[in-house]
Amino acid sequence: MNAGRFAPSPSGDLHIGNLRTAVLAWLFSRSTGRGFLLRVEDLDRARTGAEARQLADLAALGLDWDGPVVHQSARLDLYAEAIDRLTAAGRTYECFCTRREIQQATEAPHGIPGAYPGTCRSLTADERAERQRSGRAPALRLRSDVTEFTVRDLLCGDFTGPVDDLVLRRGDGAPAYNLAVVVDDAAQGVDQVVRGDDLLASSPRQGYLATLLGLPVPTYAHVPLALNEQGQRLAKRDGAVTLADLAALGHSPSDVLATIARSLGLAGPGEMVMLAELLARFAPARLPREPWVVRPEPIMAEPQGISPGEQLRHR
């Protein structure tokens, strides 16, 4: 089954920008006859209860998904197998650099901001042994043989970006995000990835890694983020931006969905809508291309009623 997905990290409640991206991922998937999957990316710190609240909020907006929710923490064997394959092909090496050392190297003349400069790529056996004696746990990096890669994005067109020797396994032994997401998408049949455009720059790395593993490269759709009035990524500190915060102010999930729909040009002022109605109106080419600036008190008072999730269950 070809599918799209939404893959939150259970580090806290979803804010209205996250929910907007989830709605878009659902619309892209369902409008093209794809399945829609939920994956919890829990390789890093997870807050108690966050996952349950996230799933409840998605359901309250009316989103449904296919099959069980997948957790990255239960898929460690898949990531280890992929790393073993790359290592057997001579595609990996140990890296002893600290974040500070990498930052200093990239800030130097001719350094590429954000790209690993290859400091440990050609270490001799003696040099590796010396670093190991220091007690510093090494990360494992990909030995890339390209400097850029092109992916297809439904909103941005062909996008070419830099590829460096990205981390596959962190110094603490955990698989890195770029590896896990590539392995997961292929294993789940995800051929369409809809996510925030802050991740556009990482897609060439992920696409290149997929080709090395013999996996299909998905088609992407990087959607504009929700920002605060200062032009920064929306966050909890910006006030009432989660479903629970807005409920405390008297705003229902229906109000939130209507606000999201208006921000996408899919509903008129004051109009209350269901996801099924948005699906009938959805056209990627007409989506806004600029960030959505969320102002204080973004949800205007609307008629209260049964939540979209409850309506979906009663259809």
Residues comprising the binding site for Zn(2+)? 95, 97, 116, 120
- Vertex 72, ends 69 and 77: CA angle to 5°? 125
Strand order in the sheet with 70-71: 3-6, 35-40, 70-71
236 is catalytic: yes
Question: How many Å apart are CA 293 and CA 226, to the nearest integer?
Answer: 6
Helix pair angle (177-187, 203-212), 10° resolution: 60
Rg over alpha carbons for the chain, rounded to the nearest Å, is 21
Instruction: Count Cβ neighbours within 10 Å for each residue of 127-149 and write b for 16 or more, e otherwise.
Output: eeeebeeeeeebbbbbebeeeeb
209: left (phi over 0), alpha (psi -120 to 50) or beta: alpha
Residues annotated in a binding site: 5-9, 41, 95, 97, 116, 120, 177, 195, 236
SS3 of 228, please? coil
Half-sphere exposure (Cβ direction) of 16: Cα atoms closer than 13 Å: 37
**Phi–psi pair at 3, nearest 5 degrees:** -150, 160
Catalytic residue among 236, 271, 279, 301: 236
| 8 A C-beta contact, residue 145 and residue 165 | no
Residues with a catalytic annotation lie at: 236
